[in-house]
Amino acid sequence: MAALSIRGLSKRFARLEVLKNIDIDIESGEFTVLVGPSGCGKSTLLNIVAGLERASAGTVEIGGRMVNDIEPKDRDIAMVFQSYALYPSMSVRQNITFGMECRHVPKPQQDAAVAHVARLLQIEPLLERRPSQLSGGQRQRVAMGRALVRDPLLFLFDEPLSNLDAKLRVEMRMEIKRLHQRIGATIVYVTHDQIEAMTMATRIAVMYQGEVQQFADPDTIYRYPANLFVARFMGSPPMNTMPARLVAEDGAPQVVIGAGRPDEVRLRLRGYDAAAAFLGREVVLGIRPECIAESGRVFGDTSEAPIVVHAPVEMIEPTGAETVVLLRLGGEPVLARISPDIRPKPGALTAFALDTRRICLFDPKTERLIA
């Protein structure tokens, strides 16, 4: 039985349809991330699951029970908000136990629950402090502790790290992932940050304009994006996409970038049988920046030599761990990720190795993945 099952869910605000026929099943113990740009409907979907908004159509089931008409307090969920939502006049201990007191949980049970989550979240020294005496990360731990003491069927996180600085966000991301591994809870987590989604999720629902574009594990989302939106949204830097033409030469498919230009690039493809119907037609080629590297790079465990192309460099961005290069491939702007100790000069014609095993091809009309 799925911990959360959403069927045919739609939401309208007057004439504006913000969610369109959403179908999702989340299994018990999964860490599912809803990711997408601002305004895509992910927070509205979470609010409907929580009972803070009503769906215009469709059903929501939690633990096999339909909850459309059930009050939020009776849905067996716990929610962690972006703003922490702590009571400023109460101590950390009182913030954590407040919900239990409202449910008339016996005092010994409250004390045991507080001791357990305080140890789990490493906030034992903070229990008598007020929220104003805590850092952002500590407040977020307290908000998580308040949710954990409920031991619900479902945890809902609504962009809980967006108020934190970059360093603290990385630390808290690891804390939440470690917590999930320890307690095996079912979590639905909303974020607009695709790095959070990739590093934390067991499965990701990529949303855009009120629809789920793809629902899969992070590796599938990254390597085989369902359409151009997913390809361009997931990844930092995102996938390079460019117009190209698929042709056959000596019985093998080739993709041509900048056809007819003096600097056109031809790439031989292997294992792209699904693209046979597009021979002689325009396609959109997608290739990740890490699949374009300095000449001499060996990609993975393969005896096949990578294709080497010469391309003009427009700009470089040293990041410490790597150098990101903006170059032109068949006249199209492309980002590459090369070793940090290599700094090609802007304007120079430079050799780059391409891993064509990881190329994606998209239909330019439907924008869906071909192969």
Q: Are residues 215 and 96 in the same domain?
A: yes
Q: What mean pLDDT comes out for the span 24-42?
A: 96
In this structure, is residue 147 part of a structural domain?
yes
Q: Are residues 247 and 215 in the same domain?
A: no
In this structure, is residue 34 part of a structural domain?
yes
Q: Are residues 111 and 222 in the same domain?
A: yes
Q: Is the pLDDT of residue 271 over 80?
A: no
In this structure, is residue 91 part of a structural domain?
yes
In this structure, is residue 208 part of a structural domain?
yes
Q: Are residues 348 and 205 in the same domain?
A: no
Q: How far is residue 192 from each of residues 75, 123, 302, measured CA to CA in Å?
A: 26, 28, 36
Q: Of all residues in the chain, what percent carry a pLDDT higher than 70?
A: 99
251 vs 311, more confident: 311
Strand ranges of the sheet holding 4-13, from the earlier edge strand across to the other edge:
16-26, 4-13, 57-62, 65-66
Cβ proximity of 24 and 12 under 8 Å: no
Q: Are residues 196 and 326 in the same domain?
A: no
Domain span at residue 23 reads 4-233
In this structure, is residue 25 part of a structural domain?
yes
Q: Are residues 277 and 145 in the same domain?
A: no
Cα(243)–Cα(225) distance, rounded to whole angstroms? 17
Q: Are residues 124 and 74 in the same domain?
A: yes
Q: Are residues 20 and 115 in the same domain?
A: yes
- Domain end among 233, 253, 280: 233
Q: Are residues 218 and 245 in the same domain?
A: no
Q: Of all residues in the chain, what percent carry a pLDDT higher than 90?
A: 68
Task: Please tell me which of 113-117, 167-171, 320-324 the model is most confident about, judged by mean pLDDT.
Answer: 320-324
Q: Is the pLDDT of residue 359 over 80?
A: yes
- Domain end among 207, 233, 259: 233
Q: Is the pLDDT of residue 240 over 70?
A: yes
In this structure, is residue 370 part of a structural domain?
no
The CATH number that applies at residue 155 is 3.40.50.300
Q: Are residues 190 and 281 in the same domain?
A: no
Q: Are residues 225 and 246 in the same domain?
A: no
Identify the pLDDT of residue 301.
65
Is the omega angle on the peptide bond into residue 344 within 30 degrees of 0, that is, cis?
no
Identify the pLDDT of residue 122.
86
Taking CB atoms within 8 Å and a gap of at least 24, the contacts of 241-244 are: 241/284, 241/285, 241/286, 241/362, 242/284, 242/285, 242/329, 242/330, 242/332, 242/334, 243/282, 243/283, 243/284, 243/285, 243/332, 243/364, 244/282, 244/283, 244/284, 244/285, 244/330
Identify the pLDDT of residue 190.
96
Tally of structural domains, the chain: 2
The CATH number that applies at residue 323 is 2.40.50.140
Q: What mean pLDDT comes out for the span 136-141?
A: 87
Question: Out of 66-70, 113-117, 289-293, which region has the weakest mean confidence (pLDDT)?
Answer: 113-117
Q: How far is residue 327 from each of residues 8, 24, 264, 287, 289, measured CA to CA in Å?
A: 44, 40, 14, 13, 11
**Which band of pLDDT confidence, cut at 50, 70 and 90, is reported for residue 303?**
low
Cα(208)–Cα(40) distance, rounded to whole angstroms? 5
Q: Are residues 246 and 214 in the same domain?
A: no
Cβ proximity of 47 and 69 under 8 Å: no
- Domain end among 205, 233, 261: 233
